[in-house]
Chains A and B, each alone.
Chain A
Amino acid sequence: MARNTATAGPVPTAVTQPPVRAGREKRERYLLASSYIGPAMIGIVVFSILPILYIIFMSFTNRNTFHFNPADNFFSPSKLGKYTFVGIDNYVRTFWDATTHTFNTDFFFVMGNTLLYTIVCITLFLVLGLTLALLLNSPLIQLKSLYRTLLILPWAAPAIMTAPIWKFFFNAEFGPINQILRAIGIHNPPAWLGDPILAWIAAVIVNLWLSYPFFMFVILGALQSVPGELYEAAQLDGAGFWTQLRQITLPLIRPALLPAVVLSSISTFQQLNTVWILTNRGGPFASVTSPGATEFVMLYAYRQGILQNNYGLTSAFAMIVFILLFAVTIVNLRATNITKGAYE
């Protein structure tokens, strides 16, 4: 691509030009490029970068319910009502409990729990998305376009309304899931959202319902770009279904899948609204102080931080999550080279 695009923009005539004109053309070209990206950059700076800078600033302060207004001297000792500079206290407090001199186990539990949830969800998105895409792409199925249209409908459902509705679905007494279980003869169906493991599974099911259409869609599109002759050649060589899947399909659709996987991993890791509503703020809770079974990273931050006005602490927490996710993104991108083409 680099070779194709290097000559884009004003037609290059530099060889025959005096240097002054070449300089002006270059300036004009930069001006044009900045007028194209300018508006988008202003949006990103004002509504994404400035808030993040503000969070970085707050992560070094003790802003909370007791220290709510800025102090006159930012580096003065802490006074009631005024927030001041506290160094890396908030970062340390996220990991370390100073009163008991132990690691903050809640933090590590929440991180590990969220990581597990993300891995399970993404794996299921891929398996279900791939299965459905292969089925919809196979000659064995009739009515393909009807099925495809019906199967992507959950994508159009508003996620914020889906959560309360699924909460009703899992309702122990009146929810349709238990109604169905009773109808097929299970007399004591489980109280889904009251059980730690089942509530966790319920969150996975709801997330799966919301997200598989996107994966199915992306994989279906990627399958169109796999040349059919490859399968014919493989069949002549006697390769079965699984060999074809492993040797041809998966390697060829991988590049199209990676951006979807990276972006969905991040958004699943940072999921808040759906689980918050579904399991009533991350429950069920074993005790008042410990995090709930479905209290994932953002729910933990929201409950412990924002709801209790612990802005300084929450900001440090946000920075830690940010650094972790950014590192994972970069490692992923490097390892898989998906941006290789993009920077050329």
Chain B
Amino acid sequence: MSAIEATRSGSRTFHEVNAQVQAEAEAGRRKARQKHIWKSIAANAAVLIFLVFAIFPLYYVITASFRPGQSLYSTNLELFPTNPSLENWTYMFTQTKLLLWMGNSLQVAGLTTIGSVLLCTTAAYSFSRWRFPGRDAILTLMLAINAFPGVLALIGVFVIFKELHLLNNLWGLVLAYTSGQLIFSTWNLKGFFDTIPVDLEEAARVDGATPTQAFIRVMLPLARPALAVTALLGFMGGWGEYITAQTMLFDESKYTVAVGLIGLQTDYRQPWGWFAVGAICMSVPVTLLFLALQKQLQAGLTLGGVKG
């Protein structure tokens, strides 16, 4: 019964009934707010549980790197190391070639990044904007190659490296890794280029720009998110790869960081503390790159896909 009807029927004064209705509405709102709060608490709790799954291993590795010698071998959970020491850190930096390996990896990953950005952007632009014989066949062929089990092609890659005198050579790895990035990144970039209207380049062309100038001055600045993805994947591909590097490199001084670190373990020794230090050192550059590119990455990965 609304306040007006109740007043008309004369049973109660308007003010009495109005106050009751207001109170009921207020109670309803409070209830909705309370429901919202409970929902919000549940949602936050769910995220926090996932966060433990995501972060606990990282946290544990950081503490493990400060546990000396045998203190990792405990059957009880210790969230903080009882006798923290820098033993693992000093060992890794003074007794192993960790810094040299990281330098090698940085060199390989950096050159792979540059190489894959250069090759993928030009190829993707060509596939996106121009029609030429064999275009569709090449695009399908690239997908086909992607389905080949890469590890089993390693024997073939080894033979190629040998013929080209690239064995035990960091440049050989750069070339192999760059080629490895070509397929995904070209498809991804092409998808992104497809979403950018062609009008802008046409305007530039009417103003007298060559196709290459239109590509560099108009297209590349617009494709920054996809370039960020290409660069990040290139860096990650070169930085953490293990099995090709392990097959192609023989000298300890040429090792990349993944090969060097895995080489520290033997059948009888699993040096967890050293691994922890190595894993942290390996994660730092990629994490920094991630944080720097975070804003760009999301758009770069999905826009290409939406159209793709």
Contact = CB atoms under 8 A, between A and B. Distances in A.
> Are A and B interaction partners?
yes
Contact of B130 (A4, A29, A218): A29
Contacts of B190: 342
A142 B39 CA distance: 12
Interface stretch (A85-93, A117-125, A317-325): A317-325
A156 B76 contact: no
Interface string A314-344: 1101100110011011100100001101110
A272 B179 contact: no
Task: Tell me the interface secondary structure of chain A in the complex.
Answer: helix
Nearest to A8: B129
A322 B149 CA distance: 6
Interface stretch (A16-24, A76-84, A194-202, A254-262): A254-262
Contacts of A317: 152
Interface string B239-282: 11111000000000000001001100100001010011011001
B104 interface: no
Please tell me the size bucket of the interface on A.
35 or more
A37, A136, A258 pick with most chain B CB within 10 angstroms: A37
A52 B145 contact: yes
Please tell me the size bucket of the interface on B.
35 or more
Interface string A259-280: 1100100100010110000000
A102 interface: no
Given A158-B240, A182-B77, A255-B306, A221 B198 contact: no
A183 B60 contact: no
A192 interface: no
A10 B211 contact: yes
A341 B128 CA distance: 11
B180 to A, nearest CB: 7
Nearest to B184: A263
Interface of B: 36, 39-40, 43-44, 46-47, 50-51, 53-58, 60-61, 72-77, 118-120, 122-123, 125-133, 136, 138-139, 142-157, 159-160, 175-176, 178-180, 182-184, 186-188, 190-191, 194, 197-199, 201-202, 205-206, 211-212, 239-243, 258, 261-262, 265, 270, 272, 275-276, 278-279, 282-283, 286-287, 289-291, 294, 297-299, 301-303, 305-308
22 contacts: A8-B201, A36-B126, A40-B119, A40-B182, A47-B180, A51-B159, A51-B160, A55-B155, A150-B55, A154-B57, A154-B58, A160-B258, A179-B76, A209-B54, A217-B297, A221-B301, A259-B187, A297-B149, A301-B149, A305-B152, A315-B155, A333-B143
8 nearest A-B residue pairs (beta carbon): A51-B156, A221-B302, A318-B152, A54-B156, A179-B77, A36-B126, A47-B179, A40-B123
